[in-house]
Structure 1
Amino acid sequence: MQPIPDYARSVSEELKSRTLAGTLKADPAQMDVARHLDRVLIDLKARKPARKSSALGWIFAKRRAMPEGIRGLYVHGSVGRGKTMLMDLFFEMAPTEKKRRAHFHEFMADVHNRIHAHRQKLKNGETKQADPVPPVAEQLAEQAELLCFDEFTVTDIADAMILSRLFTELFARGCTLIATSNVEPDNLYPNGLNRGLFLPFVGLLKQHVEVLSLDSPTDYRLGKGDHLPVYLAPLGPEADRQMDRAWMMLGKGQPEKPVEIAMKGRVIAVPRAVGRMARFTFAELCEAPLGAVDFLAIAERFDRIFIDHIPLLNADRRNETKRFIILIDALYDHHIHLHASAAAEPEALLTVRKGTEGFEFDRTVSRLFEMRSRDYLNVEAGQKSEV
């Protein structure tokens, strides 16, 4: 791993520099968040030498109390206000080698994989520790004392039930959390099954992070789109013809074939694939029993995804809507090039906005616009956008 440089700049100074250069517009709300991120940078830099002051301290570390954590930051606000950009600037400057930046769905998929692996060890007699959460938290904390999560959201009951115990262990081990979200902590997992069991996590979160709203009046993603022909609406023979033409052109005439992605004793069926390019119908992705871990596996295997026949989404399609939101999050976070045919433009796909899906679909709409913009498409597939 490359040595961590001694950064002279702060997030707020970088914002000022980009504003003066004309690559960003001056935004007081973003600058306010930047100053709070600078506070965390200062705290991280101050803590670093204290942990290495004594070699004997490392030898007897397990006999001492857990290290005191640094108060993190939870930034919430509407889509496209610059939350991700600010967190990425902070992450690049963070003066620690042990840091991890991930989409929250991706992190939780990793957690569940680690829990599964621990239970297999218990089953095979390789460990006597029945509770998998403490050893999994120990592994995570050893690998990253700074955790940065983009789009912190909780929709899965399995995630909701484990978060309080997991983060109690992580915070006790001195982990610092930086998170972005569309909703404030009190609105996480609204109306979720057994939400009362989730609420202790909200209280725990507020103890360990400063909650800040990013109220910028501008959505910086909108307005970038030049309406490249990668999102076709409405559905019909013409949309099908254009999708087929793009598929053939990008596939360069190579024969397509079905493939399978192995997933812990099962497989994800990919009905049509050419090299690093795959094609699905909406039904094959969002009406099937797939989740975040499956969509992440698809995003890691392919660079370009075609989705045919995205329908209008309503109350009768709640599960499909949830999967579609998670799917677009996974594709966007891996900077997958998306080609889609849909019943309507993104802002009209969800016919009734209410509950968790209503809040989260605003992010999906913004990302669908972003994914058809020149800025997004000009970045090589598989690389994350800086915006």
Structure 2
Amino acid sequence: MQPMPDYSLSVTEQLKSLTASGTLQVDSAQMDVAKCLDRVLAALKRKRPASKSSALGWLFASKKKTEAGIRGLYIHGSVGRGKTMLMDMFFQMAPCRKKRRAHFHEFMADVHNRIAAHRQKLKNGETKQADPMPPVAAALFEEAELLCFDEFTVTDIADAMILSRLFSELFARGCVLVATSNVEPDNLYWEGLNRGLFLPFVGLLKRHVEIVSLDSPTDYRMEKLNSQPVYLIPIDERTDMAMDASWTQALHGRKAQPTEIAMKGRAIHVPFAVDRMARFSFSDLCEKPLGAADFLAIAERFDTIFLDHIPLLGPEKRNQIKRFIILIDTLYDHGTRLYASAAAMPEELLIERCGTEGFEFDRTASRLFEMRSAEYLAAHHERRAAE
């Protein structure tokens, strides 16, 4: 059983304690963001007693909260600066009875599933509510009054078109949002299709969250890089042989076979799989019409992925680049061990930086580096041992 967080602490105090012990380096930029998180934390603590009162008192408290809700926080900055670490500290301390921390793509996949389920109820005559957004938002808020998103990013037009309406409903109910991102709000969904329809969400976001930048001069992910032979370049016969050798070693004499993951009337084809290990090519996952929900299903089914032949990614591969970004985000978020062969080192895969993908790929390259680190691989082994 997990110990209860110490609500008497603040993010600033925990950060000071870690730097005093030598666990972390002193970083004034991180300390500034910690103070912003403490503002939200203090507001949540002030609100907490109201949630313990009678049912009627809670009702009046909810109405008051809707009129003057707690302002959340949107932290943006370059990769490896400690955004996720600070948000995780905050989330552990947040005294909310109902809170949710999720990767943004995972959350939106859940939202789309709920919308589809509501539309099916409407079709079956089980509800007369034609608009799915109010009941979906109500259900989400009932489960979590605090939402924490790691790596907030918008690349999918389906997500872009519903965000304004979804969060209008959530914020009206008093939902508090804390998010990290590589890009500031004005650059979200940059050059996206029908971006004008997305822009009202940016204005809504700015009204309900404080925008802060984490501009630490140190990339901590690069500092702890300790390369392991799990990312091989270039794509040639020698690399293929090395990947095959690692795959054979991982099989331990077992025989891999094709399998499928059922997905709402269709299936994701897995060329080779055994237990919780699978092998795909870049083409299998990024040149087919797969999305965040598909990659989430793969990450939940397998904890070790072999990915062959990641090519150089030029402007003509924009769809493949988007899928690759979402794939790596999902695998990283689930602590998946990744073996990969590629045409170049992560930071050299993207031939030309343009549009949203240019911003997002910095994070992808950083995560590919970290997924090779001794710390990441050790954490993977610890999770497997605990299962």
Match of 2:218 in 1: 218
User: Which residue identity is paired with 1:224?
Assistant: K
Correspondence for 1:136: 136
Q: d(CA) in 2 for partners of 1:38 and 1:330?
A: 29
Alpha-carbon distance, 1:38 to partner? 0.6
Cα distance in 2 for residues equivalent to 1:153 and 1:19? 30
Q: Which residue of 2 aligns with 1:12?
A: 12
Q: Which residue of 2 aligns with 1:87?
A: 87
The 2-side partners of 1:381 and 1:334 are apart by: 13
1:368 maps to which residue?
368
| Matches of 1:222 and 1:93, distance apart in 2 | 28
TM-score (norm 1): 0.96
* 1:118 aligned onto 2:107: no
Residue identity in the other structure for 2:94? A
Specify the alignment match of 2:163 in structure 1: 163
1:36 paired to 2:36: yes
Q: Is the Cα contact below 8 Å between 1:337 and 1:381 reproduced in 2? A: no
SS in 2 for 1:338: strand
Distance 1:34 1:160 in 2: 29
Corresponding letter in the other structure for 2:121: K
Name which of structure 1's ranges 42-51 and 83-92 shifts more when overlaid on structure 2: 42-51
Corresponding position of 1:209? 209
Contact 1:303–1:381 (CA under 8 A) maintained in structure 2: no
Q: Structure 1 168/381 Cα, relative in aligned 2: closer, same or farther at 3 Å? A: farther
How far the C-alpha of 1:58 sits from its partner, in A, is 4.4
1:152, 1:383 → 2: CA distance?
A: 25
State the superposition RMSD in angstroms. 1.8
Letter in 2 for 1:291: G
Q: Secondary structure at the match of 1:49?
A: helix
Deviation at 1:223, TM superposition (A): 2.9
Which whole-Å CA distance do the structure 1 matches of 2:382 and 2:323 have between them?
A: 21
Give me the TM-score of the superposition, normalised by structure 2. Answer: 0.96
Shift of 1:355: 1.4
Please show how residues 174-189 of structure 1 align to structure 2 within 5 Å. 174-189=174-189
CA distance in 2, matches of 1:135, 1:128: 11
Write the distance in 1 (CA, Å) between the matches of 2:107 and 2:276. Answer: 24
Question: 1:311-342, CA deviations, whole angstroms, 9 ceiling, x for partnerless residues?
Answer: 10001111111111110000000010000000
| C-alpha distance in 2 between matches for 1:100 and 1:58 | 20
**1:249-260 aligned within 5 A:** 249-260=249-260
1:280 aligns with 2:249: no
Count of aligned residue pairs for this structure pair = 384
Q: Check whether the contact 2:305–2:336 (CA below 8 A) recurs between aligned residues.
A: yes
Hey, what's the Cα distance between the residues in 1 that align with 2:209 and 2:58? 27
1:192 is matched with which residue?
Answer: 192
Partner AA of 2:135 in structure 1: P
Q: Which whole-Å deviations, capped at 9, do the CAs of 1:58-114 have from their partners, x for residues lacking one?
A: 478898884642100000000110000000010001011200000000000000000
**Alpha-carbon spacing, 1:327–1:21, altered in 2? closer, same or farther (3 Å):** same
For 1:25-56, what per-residue CA distance to the aligned partner results, in whole angstroms no more than 9, with x for missing partners?
Answer: 00000000001101111100000112333432
More helix by share: 2
Check conservation: 2:62, 2:174, Cα contact below 8 A.
no
Q: Deviations over 1:127-182 (max 9, x none)?
A: 11000000000000000000000000111110000000000000001000000001
Identity %: 72
1:336 and 2:336 are equivalent in the alignment: yes
Structure 1 window deviating more from structure 2 (350-359 vs 282-291): it is: 350-359
Measure how far apart 1:383 and its partner are: 5.1
Distance 2:64 2:90 in 1: 30
